[in-house]
Amino acid sequence: MENGKENGKATIVITYNSVKDFPNGTYQGKNGPVVIYSHDNTKTWGNQEAEGKLSQILHDIYGRADSEDVDKIYLYVGLYAKDGALNAAKNFTNKGSNLELVACDCSYSEKKNFAAQHNLPITWSECGGRNELKRIVENLL
């Protein structure tokens, strides 16, 4: 979907938080559907809640997101649910997915090193990622 390619493949945005001004759902993007998997919350989850929310989202996605139908995945990696998000990132890259991390700078070195080890691009965001994910989605629509 990037670089003006019209391929009709989906772009997936995954966060255990919310994307500001964009509820969970599917939107028509410039080059294909944009699917947001999120929770419509405005507060910051604790670690256990965040891991649980991320686990629910990933359970919904696994088996549905065929890499042949998906152009790119944006995965938010926050302070909470960091371990679950990084494990999901490993799974997505092992399946050949085009993945970009969106991360706050909490545990900066760990996230930066993970991205480098797995040859993944990373976009740095504010804590919670809601505004940066909104910007990404707006650019896709």
Decide if 11 contacts 33 (C-beta within 8 A): yes
- In CATH, the number for domain 2-140 is 3.40.50
Tens digit of pLDDT for each residue in 123-140? Answer: 999 999 999 999 999 999
Question: Does the pLDDT value for residue 122 go beyond 60?
Answer: yes
Q: What is the pTM of this model?
A: 0.85
Tens digit of pLDDT for each residue in 85-113? Answer: 999 999 888 888 899 999 999 999 999 99
Burial 42-78 (b: 16+ CB within 10 A, else e): eeebeeebbbebbeebbeebeeebeeeebbbbbbbbb
Q: Please return the burial class of 22, using the count of CB atoms within 10 Å of its CB with bins 0-12, 13-18 and 19+.
A: buried
What are the boundaries of each domain within the chain? 2-140
69 pLDDT tier (thresholds 50, 70, 90): confident
Decide if 136 contacts 102 (C-beta within 8 A): yes
Decide if 32 contacts 9 (C-beta within 8 A): yes
Tens digit of pLDDT for each residue in 51-68? Answer: 666 766 766 666 666 667
Question: Does the pLDDT value for residue 3 go beyond 50?
Answer: no
| Rounded average pLDDT over 23-43 | 86
Higher pLDDT, 56 or 28: 28
Q: What is the pLDDT of residue 5?
A: 47
Question: Does the pLDDT value for residue 19 go beyond 50?
Answer: yes
Non-local CB neighbours of 105 within 8 Å, separated by 6+ positions:
111, 124
Identify the DSSP state of 4.
Answer: G
2 pLDDT tier (thresholds 50, 70, 90): very low
Q: What is the pLDDT of residue 95?
A: 82
Alpha helix positions (H), 3-129: 47-61, 82-94, 108-117
Tens digit of pLDDT for each residue in 71-87? Answer: 999 999 998 889 889 99
